[in-house]
Amino acid sequence: MQGNVKNEKRFNRLIAVVSIVIPIVVAILFGVKLPNVQPLSFLPPIYATINGLTAVLLLVAVWAIKNGNEKLHQNLMTTNITLSLMFLIMYIAYHMTSDSTSYGGEGVIKYVYFFILITHIVLSIALIPLVLRTYALAYLKKFEDHRALAKYTFPIWLYVAVTGVVVFLMISPYYAY
């Protein structure tokens, strides 16, 4: 049990560092433009698709665990973390090679768009430690704690995944492909 406590403390330190470093690095890289590089304007529909796939796989993962299929659940959650990492890499690559796209809608829909976008961004930052901690608890076989935290992590992750698609669909008419 002593080793498990040490492992959990190590995981918690690593999760804290990663949860701080990722948003800072993303913010810094967001402002970096690579000169003389072809814009990667084809990426937004790909990473929007990744968000949609993540949402579907999150739902399937919940179905799997509720039906006692722990291995499928574990594989799907690992896949979702991998997809999220792929999304992040593509998102950064796009913004390092392309100018940001301004939303062109007007009236109430503009406020709806910005509400969805801001909540998506804020919750995606908050999601980093939630996902990593939830995953670590399962890895450490602390399943009661894992389940308790997953009740919060799941709906936030699902919201971020779905709103990622919604944001893309709302802004896509304004992209310069």
Predicted local confidence at residue 30, as pLDDT? 85
Global pTM value: 0.93
Structural domain count of the chain? 1
Tell me which H or E stretch contains 14. Answer: helix 2-30
pLDDT at 177 over 70: no
Evaluate if residue 1 carries a pLDDT over 60: no
Q: Is the model's pLDDT at 156 over the cut of 60?
A: yes
Judge whether residue 134 has pLDDT over 80. yes
Q: What is the mean pLDDT of residues 135-153?
A: 96
For residue 2, pLDDT beyond 80: no
- Residue 115 sits in which domain range? 2-174
Nearest to 160 by CA among 115, 114, 120: 120
Output the average pLDDT for the chain. Answer: 94
| Domain containing residue 31: CATH number | 1.20.120
- Here the tokens at position 114 are 């910005």
